[in-house]
Structure 1
Amino acid sequence: MSSPLWITATPLASDGELHLGHLAGPYVAADVLSRSLRAAGRPVLFTTGTADHAASVELRAVRGGRKPAEVAEGYRAAITADWLRSGVEFDRVVHPGRDRGYRHWLQELFLDLYAQGVIVPRTRLAHYCESCRHWLHGAYVTGACGHCGARGEGGPCQECARPNEGELTDPVCALCGAPGRQRRCRRLYLPLEPMRELLADHWRTAGLPPRLAVLCESLLEDGLPDVPVSHPGDWGVPVPLDGFAGHRVDACFEAAAMHLFGYGHDKRPLPERAVHFCGFGHAFCHVALLPAILVALGLKLPQEFHVNETFHPGAGESREEGGASALWALDLLTEFGSDTVRRHVLTARPPAPGSGAGREELGRTREFLDGTWNSWLSRLFASVREDSAGRVPDAEPGGEGWEALRHRLHRAADDVREAYGPEAFDPRRAVAVLDEVVRCTADFGYVNQFERHRPSGAERHLPALAAQLAVASALASWAWPVMPEGATRLAQALYVPTGGPVTPDALAPLPPGTRLAPPSGPVFGF
């Protein structure tokens, strides 16, 4: 068997609950790719983790008078539960605090890179709060990015994706609001400039999205940075080197390395290919640090990137402290269901800054599902119940316009399969084609329903029912990557397998006489 396609999604900081912006970013889209490949019989390994050692976790703990481990564990449990509720199914979610051997593995990797001279000590100016007596790094410091001027935290800038901790201007302590003062600090760094040619070659062959390609070319033109990979602090994995007692492994470096632990590269060969899903603000860890670690380990891995922009809530939606959307995933999944939420975030997935959506837009998505998908299916099931005693009619698929529709459906299957595939991945396109399938089939059903009243033959409408049931059966497979909950309900109603490949063969007629079991409520969403 060939090696699996490795799909990763950004490790999420366990400093708060999952919200709609997270789902609209890497997670649902990556799950769609994973599901579609599995349905086609291709081996997949879908991994992520939680960034439990992010400074934002410790900061939330300090503000709430709690221990960082308690904050991380509580939010991690909520995040992983909400992933499951939304239908995002990982093969592995790295748990930094509990996974056997994780801390030792990370420290050994750190030691290995230090021994090679890849990680080196440097004494540089760093921000310090004299009031709190605390070094300012990550979420502990806010200021203006020294590259693009956007306000944000330390670490990679969420707007331009460049590392900016040492370059922040007007630094302010996030705890007390006092201005940060610069002090000399001896830390560990990973200089990227010695890897210039190897990284440049990697970026040339990676097929980067244009904005990411611009970032990488700009980094090369300006001189690749020395990336801090440790900081003085109390929270995180201790740096295992003499002279750096009280230092912790930097969260950005850990997030990049976590992907390798999730795959288990030291226990099996790396795959032939990896596909990374991340927000642009987190892209530096994926596109620079992870390749640098691989280069240092002597590993070459073709990698591709799907990058989304930052999600913004719709007008009038509330925000939590720090400006993040307060559209909590748990609330929305409970109110609208996973089909509605997944379909919505795929169609509203930010291709550019400023995109956004909220409850009102989610409500319209649910209304659309009810008015098209569910309306057609409820009419179809009602017709089968009234005209065929609730069983699949003993008739070959047919009816006025069936041949033209069947050819169109074959083309649609090819379009959906292409939109689901890694080479031309476009879940928004897949949703649009699936909607067109439902509309065309509903129109076909409406036109042919009048055959019931033809005096010359009372059963001339049954082939059209058989044809629509064949389309419904195909949709149980074709729609499964986007709306797995509803596709599973539809498959159970038709007694067909769930999550089959997206091929025209899925349009095969159902066995005549099969008694259907339609759900009592809507098939998709609720």
Structure 2
Amino acid sequence: MRSEHPSTGAAQPGRSDTPDFVTFGSHEKEVPPVTAAAWITATPPTPNGELHVGHLAGPYVAADVLRRFLRADGEPCRLTSGLDDHDSVVELCALTQGRKTEEVADGYGEAITVDWRRAGVEFDQITRPRAEPGHLAAVQGLFRELHGEGVIVARSRLLPYCAPCDRPLHGAYVAGGCPSCGAPAHGNLCRSCARPNDCGDLLDPRCVLCGTPAGLRQVRRLYLPLEQFRRELTEYWGRIVLPPRLAVLCDRLAADGLPEVAVSHPGEWGVPVPVEGFADQRIDPRFELAAGRLHQQQGRGAGPVEFFGFDRAYVHLALLPAVLSARGAALPAGFQVNEHYRLDGRRFSTGARHAVWALDALTEAGSDTLRRHVLSGRPEGRPADFDPAALDATRDHLQASWNSWLAALLAALREECGGITPEEAPGGAGWEQLRERLERAAGELRCAYGPGGFAPRRVVALLDEVVRLAEDFHAVNAHEKDRPSGAERYRASLAAELAIAGALTAWAHPVMPEGAERLAGALGLRPGGPVTAAALTPPAPGTRLAPPSGPVFGY
């Protein structure tokens, strides 16, 4: 599946790691209030390449799962993202490919949005910075205002410079050692420790284009000193529930002195700086993200729940809240953070073309299989490894367990009832005990789907356990058909299995929407209902069933 495609190219997120075993607790539990989760954001990807499986395993599928769960519950909910068109990696990609930067951003941007749709990730709004009405004016207007108020200030600092390329180096153009942790890093941000850098403080900086060791030159740029927001930021960090990984980052930022962050850099790609004396500079894309968020947030009383990778944590925890605080806007209501995905022991990288592309995986496995796979091994609290053989095993599991049980059930209904829902109420040997377990499972699913205890790995484990219980129930009660007096009990057991199948049209829909919708079509039900014990209901007696011609989940 690894390939290089052509250039056409919550309120309380606390739980960061979930065991794979299943424990059913008390009966159906209440999900915490979700008014703060009515807006969900997923960090914008950079269009310097196509979407890869690591992107899906990180913020995007998980954010869509939460959106689907809340929508099914009747909660008004918006999922938004965008494209980070003006990141320096986009311009660098264009230079190395000998193409126009606009062509790269537009081509890969379109490919990314198409692959989101193929993966079943449904955004209510995708911001395209160069096409979004009012975006440029909003970014420049905020920048101009904050500079006029003295929030943004000019500083003369050392910036790497490549003499052979005759180019000042910032962002993706410069590489070296992180001044905070020593790990390999590019300019502005370290992907290992998530700490910002000033480019000029990188250890042994070198030009990414030609590999030449960089010199240092004094350059006057514009900065946003975060120390002026110390009170707002530290109070916010103390008020909101943070996963331990994020809390450690905040503690270290506060202890070391909040940095001054460069919000402009020399260049030609990006939003022009609207300040006299800096006409040859462009606004940093991280400030652009914050300004765009403020523009989106107008008229909203609460901030969003944000999904992002740990390497972007400082932007979401410090820079974005600082800009929002400068305008008295609501701060993010919660965070869902993921670690990185690895392939052959190295982290996925779009720029290095070290990835399994989403299009390849979706073509080979389908959206349901891929969504379930990346959720079951989502990199929560620690990195995760992608293994193509494991994706094949996920597809085989859906076929051998989920689809095999459903095929056996529908075949039994065709043989015993002529393909019609039986008149008998759900029953059979062990049904009362099983129903109680399933009702408890519905409560556990609500907790694991909900914003207060969001844990998609546990959701997948719970759904698998539901299907295993259904398989066992089917095997135990299948013997009733061989008893002269067992016909009624057998039909009641089939009605009970139909109730479980009906529940899966709701319970599995946030994870595997295509399969849940196919199953709902086969049963004559409406897909995507609330994840509650009430979903544990068979189709009405006499309903003509319409089994699909192929697998229900995956393919």
Q: TM-score, normalised by structure 1?
A: 0.96
1:163 and 2:196 correspond: yes
Aligned residue in 2 for 1:39: 72
Equivalent residue of 2:188, what SS? coil
Aligned residue in 1 for 2:431: 402
Aligned residue in 2 for 1:453: 482
Matches within 5 A, 1:78-97: 78-97=111-130
Q: Distance in 1 between matches of 2:48 and 2:200?
A: 23
Aligned residue in 1 for 2:106: 73
Q: Distance in 2 between matches of 1:253 and 1:275?
A: 19
Aligned residue in 1 for 2:368: 339
1:300 and 2:330 correspond: yes
Aligned residue in 1 for 2:7: none
Q: Distance in 2 between matches of 1:411 and 1:45?
A: 29
User: What are structure 1's unaligned runs of at least 5 residues?
Assistant: none
Aligned residue in 2 for 1:253: 287
Equivalent residue of 1:51, what SS? coil
- Residue 243 of structure 1: which of 264, 277, 281 is its match? 277
Q: Distance in 1 between matches of 2:238 and 2:329?
A: 17
Q: Partner letter of residue 337 of structure 2? A: V
Q: Distance in 2 between matches of 1:170 and 1:69?
A: 32
Q: How many residues were matched structurally? A: 521
Distance 1:51 1:320, change over 3 A: closer
Deviation (angstroms), 1:304: 1.1
Q: Partner letter of residue 143 of structure 2? A: F
CA contact 1:107–1:239 (8 Å) conserved in 2? yes
Equivalent residue of 1:152, what SS? strand
- Residue 185 of structure 1: which of 199, 216, 219 is its match? 219
Q: Distance in 2 between matches of 1:417 and 1:406?
A: 17
Q: Partner letter of residue 336 of structure 1? A: A
Distance 1:301 1:207, change over 3 A: same
CA contact 1:49–1:258 (8 Å) conserved in 2? no
Q: Distance in 2 between matches of 1:26 and 1:457?
A: 51
Name whichever of 224-233 and 61-70 sits farther off.
61-70
Q: Partner letter of residue 265 of structure 1? A: Q
Q: Distance in 1 between matches of 2:493 and 2:144?
A: 68
Q: Distance in 2 between matches of 1:517 and 1:44?
A: 32
Deviation (angstroms), 1:208: 1.0
Equivalent residue of 1:216, what SS? helix
Higher relative contact order (CA 8 A, sep 6+): 2
Aligned residue in 1 for 2:451: 422
Distance 1:325 1:501, change over 3 A: farther
Matches within 5 A, 1:374-523: 374-523=403-552
1:278 and 2:308 correspond: yes
Equivalent residue of 2:175, what SS? strand
Aligned residue in 2 for 1:201: 235
Deviation (angstroms), 1:314: 4.7
Deviation (angstroms), 1:351: 2.4
CA contact 1:48–1:259 (8 Å) conserved in 2? no
Deviation (angstroms), 1:350: 1.0
CA offsets per residue over residues 403-428 of structure 1, 9 Å max, x none?
00000000000000110000010011
CA offsets per residue over residues 348-374 of structure 1, 9 Å max, x none?
111244421121110011111111111
Q: Partner letter of residue 192 of structure 1? A: L
CA contact 1:20–1:325 (8 Å) conserved in 2? no
Name whichever of 2-11 and 442-451 sits farther off.
2-11
Deviation (angstroms), 1:60: 0.8
CA offsets per residue over residues 9-57 of structure 1, 9 Å max, x none?
1110000000011111111111111110111011112111100001000
Equivalent residue of 2:316, what SS? helix
Q: Distance in 2 between matches of 1:109 and 1:354?
A: 37
Q: Distance in 1 between matches of 2:350 and 2:473?
A: 51
Q: Partner letter of residue 252 of structure 2? A: S
CA contact 1:327–1:358 (8 Å) conserved in 2? no
CA contact 1:3–1:43 (8 Å) conserved in 2? no
1:311 and 2:341 correspond: yes
Distance 1:348 1:73, change over 3 A: same
Deviation (angstroms), 1:442: 1.0
Deviation (angstroms), 1:68: 0.6
Deviation (angstroms), 1:456: 2.2
Q: Distance in 1 between matches of 2:74 and 2:494?
A: 31
- Residue 244 of structure 2: which of 204, 210, 216 is its match? 210
Q: Distance in 2 between matches of 1:348 and 1:339?
A: 14
Q: TM-score, normalised by structure 2?
A: 0.91
Q: Distance in 2 between matches of 1:168 and 1:234?
A: 23
CA contact 2:60–2:121 (8 Å) conserved in 1? yes
- Residue 22 of structure 1: which of 55, 74, 78 is its match? 55
- Residue 401 of structure 2: which of 343, 347, 372 is its match? 372
